[in-house]
Amino acid sequence: MKKAGSASDPLWYKDAIIYELHVRAFQDSNGDGIGDFPGLISRLDYLQDLGVTCLWLLPFYPSPLRDDGYDIANYVDVNPSYGTLDDFRQFLDAAHSRGMQVLIELVINHTSDEHPWFQAARLAPAGSPARDLYVWSADNQRYKNVPIIFSDTEKSNWAWDEVAGAYYWHRFFSHQPDLNFDNPAVIEEVLKAMRFWLDMGVDALRMDAIAYLYERDGTRCENLPETHAAIKTLRAAIDADYTNRCVLAEVNQSPTDVRPYFGDGDECHMAFHFPLMPRIYMALRQEDRLPITDIMAQTPAIPDNCQWGLFLRNHDELTLEMVTADERDYMYLAYSADPRMRINVGIRRRLAPLVDNNRRRIELLNSLLLSFPGTPIIYYGDEIGMGDNIYLGDRNGVRTPMQWNPDRNAGFSTAVPARLYFPVIMDPIYGYQAINVEAQLSDQSSLLHWTRNMVALRKLFHVFGRGTLEFLSPDNRKILAYIRHYENPSHGSSETVLCVANLSRFAQPVSLNLNSFVGMIPVELLGYVPFPPITSQPYPLTLAPYSFLWLELQPAPESILPPL
Ligand code: BGC
Ligand code: CA
């Protein structure tokens, strides 16, 4: 008997709205200044009300927290600061009973150097199975052409270990040794950890840094065939024993290099679309749709059961690894005036500050997020327009406490403020007195209400998560226009939505060639307002600055009513 997941539809992830959050940052229940599972449980009503359907939790495992928990010291337990395994189970049940799925992190490329495996490995004799759980070398000359990801902190992918008397390999921080996937014991251990959470009922796993599992001479040690084989082994184990689960690949590579991670529908169900994200910001700043249409043209088709994961921001820097050197210079200039806003190869800012707190731009970008082919991922706090703190180290400036109300510590915690894991945002524009959930709930015009309405609207249609995409090419390049279309096999019905977005800060006219839809009526989805019928003439529209339209193309009433 396979173990069932909480979702009833095997393709649930295609219609999901994912909300990314950190337990530590969401709600503190016991006044120690650190968010925890009981706190998160107490905020599930809020998340349900927002309409999100899947909660992605950042790593919550025991960890020295030198990489905010991506440095794991035990794969099968909960960090005591956040609660107990029992608290996690209660959270999982509570989320499931609200119809929400749960996505957690499977960080298997590396562990913390405090993981007992590494502690044992450094003491074990060279060449022994215990030593070989990690990747060792007598010198630091191997794999010389492999890029350094955390370029601000690390000078090499090798670090010397005094105890072992050898170098060990790490693609990220030097306190995060890479596991050695050439050792079958590693896969066995990964399978055990994976099953531990899947048996409990976790619905989905984000495979962190999954491109780097193997190392081979003369390569960049990325996307190797051995890596794909290992992921397929994990997927086969899931398919053999569980139903309705999902694996999401974190692969920061070009669309053509990401494509193989879907396999023939037998590797990962989902993968983030990393290169699209910076190009959305480029298109906005250049007031030109080309960066978006160009990257989508380079995006290969994916198997039917697969899905892209779309995001505007996340817990990391806005990565610029997947743009050209010129584009990178442009992005740095346009979006990070202060050098403190930059880290590694990217920009460490939240959505609202990135777009100068301009409400129309925030809405425009979200309209793309919610109407592009894929599953949208909302980063906690962005639904209320939270700000960041570029004076905190690493990428912590975008990981500050959630702002619930104007009370002490933004309602996040009753601790003395100095005890909080990070200070709350306090500046006059983004500070918790100005930006918080409580205020926005009582304001019908708030970003929070807007986001909630848009999420609810998107959920009424299957076309956004499942349909095809076709760009129109009007002369005015400040206008991005596309048709989403979906034939629903189970109902024999179809949905067609025309999306039109104005990337410019000024009003723009546009004429669309809608010849394939002559006679149909575009109905604006937010207000259900019918627009003039489509004829064989170009269809004229005028768009206010940064505005967008979602128009459902419906058959004209005459054609659906029987003749009198
Ligand atoms: C995570 C980062 C983390 C890194 C190393 C990434 O993919 O998103 O936050 O620092 O993995 O674990
Ligand atoms: Ca706590």
The CATH number assigned to the domain holding 455 equals 3.20.20.80
Alpha-carbon distance of 41 to 109, in angstroms, equals 30
Report how many domains make up the chain: 3
Residue 308 lies in a domain: yes
Rounded to an integer, what is the distance from CA 355 to the centroid of its chain? 19
Q: Rg of the chain's alpha carbons, rounded to an integer?
A: 24
Q: Measured at the alpha carbon of residue 362, what is the angle toward residues 359 and 366, in degrees to the nearest 5?
A: 140
**DSSP letters of 422-459?**
SPPP-STTTSTTTS-HHHHHT-TTSHHHHHHHHHHHHH
Distance 508 CA to ligand 2 centre (A): 50
Annotated catalytic residue: which of 36, 250, 267, 388? 250
pLDDT at 14: 98
Query: Do 497 and 447 share a structural domain?
Result: no
Residue of 472, 262, 244, 501 lying closest to 370 (CA atoms): 501
**Does the beta carbon of 211 lie inside 6 Å of ligand 1?**
no
Residue nearest ligand 1's atom 8 by CA: 316
Residue 380 token pair: 């906690």
**Domain co-membership, 269 together with 360:** yes
Task: Indicate which CATH number applies to the domain containing 127.
Answer: 3.90.400.10
Mark which of 145, 169, 193 sits at the end of a domain: 169
The answer to whether residue 480 is domain-embedded is yes
pTM: 0.97
Domain assignment of residue 7, yes or no: no
67 Cα nearest atom in ligand 1: 10
Ligand 1 pocket check for 161: Cβ under 6 Å: no
Domain annotation covers residue 407: yes
Cβ 397 vs Cβ 429: under 8 Å: no
Q: Which uninterrupted H or E stretch holds 4?
A: strand 3-4
Region at 256 (left for phi over 0; alpha for psi -120 to 50; beta for the rest): alpha
CA 414 to centroid of ligand 2, rounded, Å: 10
Q: List, for residues 18-77, the tens digit of each pLDDT value.
A: 999 999 999 999 999 999 999 999 999 999 999 999 999 999 999 999 999 999 999 999
Q: Are 147 and 156 within 8 A, CB to CB?
A: no
Domain assignment of residue 192, yes or no: no
- 447 lies in the same domain as 475: no
| pLDDT tens-digit series, residues 226-248 | 999 999 999 999 999 999 999 99
Q: Are 39 and 31 in contact (CB under 8 A)?
A: no
Q: Give the domain range for residue 25.
A: 16-99+249-459
Distance from the CA of 57 to the center of ligand 2, in angstroms? 16
358: number of Cβ within 10 Å: 15
The reply to whether 515 and 435 lie within a common domain is no
Residues 363 and 424 in one domain: yes
394 lines ligand 1 (CB under 6 A): no
Domain contains 199:
no
Kindly state whether residues 27 and 150 are assigned to the same domain: no
Task: Report residue 51 CA to chain centroid gap.
Answer: 17
Q: Examine the fold and report which residue of 415, 433, 459 is the final residue of a domain before the chain moves on.
A: 459
**Which residue's alpha carbon is nearest to atom 12 within ligand 1?**
70
b/e string for 389-400 if b means 16 or more Cβ within 10 A?
A: bbeeebbbbbbb
CA distances from residue 295 to 39, 262, 280, 410 in whole angstroms, order as listed: 40, 18, 10, 40
CATH number at residue 474: 2.60.40.1180
Give the pLDDT of residue 556. 87
Taken in order 215, 220, 226, 231, the sign of the CA dihedral is positive
The secondary structure of 374-424, three-state, reads CEEEEECCCCCCCCCCCCCCCCHHHCCCCCCCCCHHHHCCCCCHHHCCCCC
The confidence score (pLDDT) of residue 133 equals 98
Identify whether 226 is a catalytic site residue.
no
Residues 281 and 414 in one domain: yes
Residue at 531 is within a domain: yes
Residues of the chain with pLDDT under 70: 558-564
Domain end (from 431, 459, 487): 459
Active site residue 383: no
Q: Is the CB of 19 under 6 A from ligand 1?
A: no
Q: Is 208 in the pocket of ligand 1 (CB under 6 A)?
A: yes
